[in-house]
Each structure stands twice: as C-alpha cells, then as structure tokens.
C-alpha cells in the first residue's frame, strides 16, 4: 500500500486530479481516526474532515520522497500535529464585546486604568532588557522560532511552513532555545 500510495502521489504532483481524489478516498479513514485521537470535537467533525483533506492536498505538493519517508508516514505526522495544534489555537475576544443583554456594557469597561508605580515600570524594563539580551545570545533560527511563537503568536505548524522545516524541528529548536535562555537569565 505504501508504494502504491507513493505512485498516486507522484501522479497527483503532475496534476492528475483523479489521483488526488483517489488519495483523499483512501485516506478518509486516517483523517477520521486522527480527529478522534487528537481533537475529538464531534460538533466540528465536518470542518475537521475538510481541514484534514486540505492538509493532505497541501502535503502532496510539499512531499519529498527523497527524504526516505513514505507518504503515508508523512501524512500521519502532518495530520497528528494539525489536530494537536488545534488545542493551542486561542480564541480572541474583542474588548468591545457586549456583556450580557446590556447594550452599553462592554468588556473594555471592566478594565481599570491604573497609573503604574514607577518602581514596577523600572523593574519591568530591566526584565525586558534581560530577555532581549538572552534572545541576542540565541542562534538566528532559535531566535526566529521564539519570536514567532511567543511574540507573534504564530502556531508551530505555520512556523515550520514559514521556515521550511518540520514541525518536530521547530519544537526541538524552541525547547533548546528556552533552555539556553533560562541558563542565561539565571546567571
């Protein structure tokens, strides 16, 4: 099945729509199984299945058989991290969201406008300077991953795509970078 699927992938890369459709049909069970295992939200099943199909179609174009991995193994990993990453997605709430039934009460009204204590401001600026220094001590890739994940709030899968590396490589790079920063900040 592995080699047969890889042949279909090669045809699909050349633009054969029938091969793409056959791949999606063969992998529908894998998509459903991945959803059940990694992100089991029944009310979102239809959307999650469609998202899985999109991952497969994108993976066909990105798949490189020269790396020595069968397409099925590659797609299992891509689906796994796609659905695991759904847990990390944050819902953003507008500060202008209405509270309850009242038309004039907004979330922003609950925020207090405190004037910050100058000492706290100085301490926070020192912390920022230390973090900037620690970031400057990282390799370019480590710094790029940390900034993208923590400051730009980009999901790991998108960072991997942006940098042209695997999801796992981004995770490992982030882990090593954080450990290095921790060591620097504890000195």
Burial bucket for residue 170 (CB in 10 Å: 0-12, 13-18, 19+): buried
Cα four-point dihedral sign 67, 69, 72, 76: negative
Across residues 45-64, what is the average pLDDT?
89
Is the CB of residue 74 less than 8 Å from the CB of residue 63? Answer: yes
Q: What is the domain extent for residue 169? A: 116-186
Is the CB of residue 85 less than 8 Å from the CB of residue 157? Answer: yes
pLDDT of residue 158: 94
User: CB-based contacts of 175: which residues, under 8 Å, 6+ apart?
Assistant: none
Taking the C-alpha atoms of residue 21 and residue 85, their distance in angstroms, rounded to an integer, is 26
- The whole-model pTM stands at 0.48
Last residue of a domain, one of 45, 71, 86: 86
Q: Tell me 68's DSSP state.
A: S
Within this chain, do residues 8 and 81 fall inside the same structural domain, yes or no?
A: yes
Last residue of a domain, one of 64, 86, 108: 86
Residue 101 lies in a domain: no
Tally of domains in the chain:
2
pLDDT one-digit tens code per residue, 101-147:
556 666 566 565 555 566 666 666 677 778 888 888 999 999 999 98
Taking the C-alpha atoms of residue 65 and residue 5, their distance in angstroms, rounded to an integer, is 12
Is residue 175's pLDDT more than 90?
yes
User: CB-based contacts of 148: which residues, under 8 Å, 6+ apart?
Assistant: 154, 159, 162
pLDDT of residue 92: 54
Q: Higher pLDDT residue, 76 or 95? A: 76
pLDDT of residue 23: 93
Is the CB of residue 46 less than 8 Å from the CB of residue 11? Answer: no
Which residues are registered as beta bridge partners of 98? 106
Q: How confident is residue 57, by pLDDT bands cut at 50, 70 and 90?
A: very high
Taking the C-alpha atoms of residue 58 and residue 140, their distance in angstroms, rounded to an integer, is 27
Distances (CA, A) of 55 to 6, 14, 21, 51: 16, 18, 14, 6
Within this chain, do residues 19 and 76 fall inside the same structural domain, yes or no?
A: yes
Instruction: Indicate which CATH number applies to the domain containing 144.
Output: 1.10.10.10
Is the CB of residue 85 less than 8 Å from the CB of residue 155? Answer: yes
């Amino acid at each position: 099945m592995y080699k047969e699927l890889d042949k279909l992938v090669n045809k699909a890369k050349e633009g054969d729509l029938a091969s793409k459709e056959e791949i999606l049909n063969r992998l529908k069970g894998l998509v459903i199984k991945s959803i059940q295992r990694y992100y089991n939200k029944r009310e979102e099943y239809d959307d999650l299945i469609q998202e899985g199909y999109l991952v497969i179609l994108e993976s066909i174009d990105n798949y490189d058989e020269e790396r020595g991995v069968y397409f099925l193994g590659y797609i299992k990993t891509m689906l796994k991290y796609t659905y695991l990453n759904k847990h990390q997605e944050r819902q953003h709430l507008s500060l202008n969201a209405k509270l309850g039934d009242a038309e004039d009460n907004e979330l922003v009204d609950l925020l207090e406008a405190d004037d910050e204590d100058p000492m706290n401001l100085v301490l926070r600026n020192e912390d920022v300077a230390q973090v900037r220094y620690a970031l400057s001590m990282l390799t370019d890739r480590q710094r790029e991953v940390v900034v993208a994940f923590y400051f730009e709030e980009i999901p790991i899968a998108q960072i991997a795509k942006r940098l042209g590396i695997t999801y796992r490589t981004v995770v490992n790079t982030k882990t090593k970078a954080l450990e290095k920063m921790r060591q620097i900040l504890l000195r």
